[in-house]
Structure 1
Amino acid sequence: MTHSRAVFRKVTLASALVLTASVAQAGPFSAVKIVNSRSVTQFEYDQRVQFMTLLNQPGDLAQLAMETLIDDRLRQTAAAEFGIKLSTADIQAGMEEFAGRANLDAAQFTQIITQAGIEPQTFRDFVETGLSWREVVRSKYGPQIAISEAAIDRAMASFTPSTTLMLRMSVIEIPALGESRETGLKAAQDLLLQLKSGVDFATLARANSKGRTAAQGGALDWVKLSDLPNDAAVAVRSLGAGKVSDLVVLDDKVLIYRVEEQKQDLLTPKTEVLDYAELLVADDAAALGAVRANTSSCNDLYALAKGLPEDRLRRQTLPLGQVPKDEAAALSLLDAGESSTDLMRNGYRVFLMLCRRGPAESELPSRDEVRLQLTNQQLGAQAQIYLEELRSEAILRTP
């Protein structure tokens, strides 16, 4: 038995005593808290305490269980007001994702919690509430969030990879080249409609895909998101397990992906590189001041160098060990976007700016990935503010 499964099978004596005592005080389906017009029952409270115990949740579980149930009622009310309704497939995918954190699938996870006295519906309700709340936040705040190109530049300049997204997928590949391109596009669109209506992906792949894995129902090995063609990466990066992508139209074929699993793998940068720029400027305070005033990133230097001889501006991306020692010493004191004017070359003052320090270009996320990460960060912050507002306005009663 793995460690994670052993942890999930452990039910503490404290949890059992809480359950016994609470049921003795009130009927299992009587309300113990009213949140606006929604009830929290004794049974739900006891189940939440046990569930949090199995998850090794730290802190005062008796208090945390009630607080999280109150928050769930507020989230559920918001979801109803926004008309959020999740499909069975959405909820199942969310359950698979949650169970995957313990290296289990949803069925294994459900079996373990059931043996510990926790109803499968408790797990399902917990996941559904979280997914619904995520959709509420996206609906309410998503249209307001705009990530600027400058913000993406700053994030990429300071990016240090720790994990990489890995995907296990299946694919249907339809040739679409030359005179047969329109026919291929039409065939792929028809297949996508069938998939959205519930037809089995593997069955359609065996019958229609022209890819090398067609006989295996289109099943692919694990692949890094960053190793996919850009259009394919954009199409699948935000898909949960069991979800099918839109059409990915390439020059010679059309692809339809189904995400089976995804995971994060640890990633160690192979080589630290320095991306830096040098602009040769007249050695006087006015000239240097003008450059500083008009430069916030390395890209700004191109406009300043317009019309100058080509050797006045140089931008390089080199492994740390290949950077000349005097430049490396100056750059070691800088963060991305900062500059130094300590060096001289050929009678000019060197305006030296660090553009980025970190992994090689091949190890960087795409701009779309960074945009998504920054968007999710802002949505997370807005979600917390919104929940605080709902808490402050809530009417709580103890029957």
Structure 2
Amino acid sequence: MQLISGFSRFLRSGWLKALAPGLAAAMLSIVPHQSPAQSLFSPAIRVNQDIVTWYELEQRKLFLELLGIPGNSDADVRKALIDERLRKQAMREAGIAPTPEDIQLAIDEFASRGQLAPEEFLKVLADAGVDRETVRDYVASQLAWRDYVSARFISQARPTDDEIDRALGQAGGGGLQVLLSEIIIPVNPQTLAQAEALANEIAQVKTFDAFSAAATQYSAAPTRENGGRLDWLNVTNLPPALQPVILGLKDGEVTSPLTLPNAVALFQMRGLREVATSAPRYSKIDYAAYYLAGGLSPETLKKAAELKETVDTCDDLYGIAKGQAPEVLDRISASPSEIPRDISLELAKLDPNEVSTTLTRNNGQTLVFLMLCSRSRDLGENTSREDVANALTQQRLQAFATSLVEQLRADATIIEQ
């Protein structure tokens, strides 16, 4: 598993080298909200016995901004550093820490993705205001967490021969489909704690009727009208990291709450079946997201319903967005693992040119008019059993890691300034 996957598209040597030292002053203005009376090195967040300082928040935000990496909003940076403290505490208890040699190798790899020597890479960042320790801490945290998760969960994550066969579509010549029910609970900063408590309570239900009743009462998804029940879905349509979680459920079992942008989701297993035709795997998903102000208000939902009647393909949205700001429409082609979890879950329910109006952005103030354009099949000619086994293992390790952090967060005492 590569240390920091996906960063190659952000690290471009020409762009990095063009960073002027004067950019640091501009970037340092992008600081999480801090009282003038507070020192940069005073606690901004307490996570159990550990602290995150205002300086660390500033540095991480600047670091991500300079590299163009998503997740650089104030809220995202706070959440990331809280999760890092939780992971460090778990690793500290297990006696796991990366060696200086391992950290240097990781920095070397990180720099090479921008076609820079390690010292040149660190100097470019330093000239823009990012301390070496910020880079080191970022890399070391990911490296040690990878080793910890692997050591703790590898025996549970390795797939059996039958599971590899199913993933390859060879088990009886067929593929797997799941029958699920869903609950999507919308959240904003003011309702997050209440929504998480509700989701944790729902996760304990044991019957189909109880989950259905909860979906009818609390879910914001259109399926609430049907008790949260979805139609049969190909397992391969689900987000890659979620597939082993779903396949690990027994009938009636409910997932732990899954954190999505502006929502918390739960899924209940209602059935699993093999079908005669192998479920296709996809290398690329092409989709469009058109953003409407107003969130899930009746007026905006009515506007979205009217829009749905006027567009037949994703290309039609270009005409709708003409004359508006470019950011009102995103047209994206990405591999399944690169797509945000909430979008991937909605796309799993759609056929090409179908629309979802369930998701929001901007703390619920913006409705996402989501349209599936096409799926590109992964023919898999070069896929070996070893490749499939490694992919399944990594998917499961990621799912275990995500679940563990969510549990650590639920058990932690977190105080934010």
TM-score of the aligned structures, taking structure 2 as reference length: 0.43
TM-score of the aligned structures, taking structure 1 as reference length: 0.45
Higher alpha-carbon Rg: 1
